[in-house]
């Protein structure tokens, strides 16, 4: 399963580094990656077939690698040279603290939830964590989707006012 996850990360990093060249819609793609990670992790946790688990873990690796690569690349491209060390230092520090807190709280929550559910506490915590990833991906996806519509000037109230002005190529001066 670790090899499947790592292969997914490598696959997404190679794919995204080759195809993503602009950062105009990076939060939208990050939202999609988080959605795919949350859905695939939840699928892996409820699945009983080993091949389905491996495929779901691979897809979660693709999503995780995409989020990591796009976030780091976006920070690198949008941060001033003088602030880059501070921004990345804070980014990695906050990431490590969040990881430490998640290890601490997930173990405590698993012990607490063990007698309350039919399934084990670890399984319940893993399902809840995949749902939290899914919800945060959904929030990111929706907020970036709204930004894309605003960027193009499309709002719900303006759909009736859209007019297409097609001109033939012959009418344009050379």
Q: What domain count does the chain have?
A: 1
Domain presence at residue 158: no
Domain presence at residue 173: no
Buried/exposed code over 113-134 (b: 16+ C-beta within 10 A; e: otherwise)? beeeeeeebbbbbbbebbeebb
pLDDT tens, residue order, the chain (174 aa): 899 999 999 999 888 887 776 666 788 888 889 999 999 999 998 898 999 999 999 999 999 999 988 888 888 888 888 988 898 999 899 989 998 998 888 888 888 888 887 778 888 888 888 999 999 888 888 888 777 666 665 554 444 444 545 455 555 555
Domain presence at residue 40: yes
DSSP assignment of 66-78, as one string? HHHHHHHHHHHHH
Can you tell me which residue has the tokens 């605003």? 150
Measured distance CA(54)–CA(90) in Å, rounded: 34
Measured distance CA(74)–CA(26) in Å, rounded: 8
Domain presence at residue 170: no
Domain presence at residue 55: yes
Domain presence at residue 10: yes
Domain presence at residue 65: yes
| Enclosing domain of residue 52 | 2-152
CA 23, chain centre distance (Å): 15
Domain presence at residue 124: yes
């Amino acid at each position: 399963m670790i090899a499947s996850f790592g292969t997914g990360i490598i696959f997404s990093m190679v794919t995204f580094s080759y195809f993503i060249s602009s950062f105009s819609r990076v939060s939208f793609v990050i939202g999609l990656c988080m959605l795919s990670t949350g859905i695939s992790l939840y699928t892996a946790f409820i699945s009983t077939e080993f091949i389905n688990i491996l495929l779901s873990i691979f897809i979660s690796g693709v999503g995780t690698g995409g989020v990591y690569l796009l976030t780091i690349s976006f920070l690198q491209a949008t941060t001033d040279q003088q602030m880059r060390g501070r921004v990345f230092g804070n980014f990695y520090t906050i990431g490590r603290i969040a990881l430490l807190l998640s290890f601490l709280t997930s173990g405590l929550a698993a012990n607490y939830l063990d007698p309350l559910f039919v399934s084990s506490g670890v399984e319940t915590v893993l399902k809840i964590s995949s749902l939290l990833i899914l919800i945060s991906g959904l929030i990111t996806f929706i907020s970036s989707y709204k930004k894309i519509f605003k960027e193009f000037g499309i709002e719900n109230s303006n759909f009736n006012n859209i007019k297409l002005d097609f001109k033939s190529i012959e009418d344009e001066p050379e």
